[in-house]
Amino acid sequence: MTLRGKAWTYGDNLDTDQIIPARYLVTADPKELGQHCLEDASPEFAKQVRPGDVIVGLRNFGCGSSREHAPLAIKGAGVSAVIAKSFARIFYRNCINLGLPIFETEAAERIAADDELELEPETGEIRNLTRGESYRAQPLPDFAREIMAAGGLMNYVARKAGLANTAGVTPSGYETKAD
C-alpha cells in the first residue's frame, strides 16, 4: 500500500500535549480528537490538513505522557503517517497498536513543509516528489506491520483468536472493514 500526501513539518520534542491538548481528553472519538489535533502548536492544522497528509517531526516526536489520544487524534485528522528522526518510545508503540504508520529516518530534516511525499510502509521507502529525492526509513518489524495491516492491536488479536468484530468498531473507536 502506497501512502501519499503533503508534509506538515515540526521540530524537535513535539509532545503529546501539543499533539492533542489535555482539555480534549474527555473523549476517545478519533474524529472529534482530530478536529483539535495540533491546535495549540499549529492552529491552522486541523482546518487545513487533507486526508493522506503526513506529519514530519525531528527528534523525540511524541514525548510527554503516554496517552493513546495523540495517535488517535493524528489518525482522526486524516493523517496517513508520521515521519521523524526519532520517536518517544511509548508514542512509537501506541502508533503500532493503533495502526498509525510511522517512519523513523535521519532524512526527516530534508523534508520541507508542503513537499509532496509517497511512502511505502512495507519497505520504508519515502519519495519526496517535490524535490525528486528518495529516503530510506527502517521498515517496521513483521509483527508491527501485521498489527498495522489489521487496523491495530485489538483487530490483530481478534483475528489471531478467530474472533469476529461484529460491532464493526474497535475499542479505540476505529471503524473496521468487513473481510
- pLDDT at 164 (0 to 100): 62
Residues 71/87, Cβ–Cβ less than 8 Å: no
CA distances from 76 to 28, 38, 51, 80 (A): 10, 12, 10, 10
Tens digit of each residue's pLDDT (9 = 90 or more) over 66-97: 889 999 999 999 999 999 999 999 999 999 99
Q: Which has more pLDDT, 159 or 20?
A: 20
- Measure the CA–CA gap between 4 and 35, rounded to whole angstroms: 21
Mean pLDDT value of segment 104-116: 98
Higher pLDDT, 169 or 30: 30
φ/ψ of residue 175, rounded to 5: -75, 145
pTM of the model: 0.87
- Stretch 1-15: mean pLDDT, rounded? 96
How many residues can be counted in the chain? Answer: 179
Rounded CA separation 157/154 (Å)? 5
Q: What is the pLDDT averaged over residues 109-132?
A: 97
Inform me whether the pLDDT recorded for 174 exceeds 70: no
- Residue 134 pLDDT level (bands cut at 50, 70, 90): very high
State residue 165's pLDDT score. 55
Strands (DSSP E) contained in the chain are 3-9, 54-56, 81-84, 102-104, 116-120, 125-128, 133-136
Q: Per 3-state DSSP, what percentage of the chain is helix, strand, and coil (rounded to 5)? A: 30, 20, 50
Residues 145-159 have a mean pLDDT of 89
For residue 119, is pLDDT > 90? yes
3-state SS, 15-32, equals EHHHHCCHHHCCCCCHHH
Give the dihedral sign, CA 178/153/146/60: positive
Rounded to the nearest integer, the mean pLDDT of the chain is: 90
Could you read off the pLDDT of 9-58 as tens digits, one per residue?
A: 999 999 999 999 999 999 999 999 999 999 999 999 999 999 999 999 99
When mean pLDDT is compared across 9-13, 99-103, 124-128, 138-142, the lowest value belongs to: 138-142
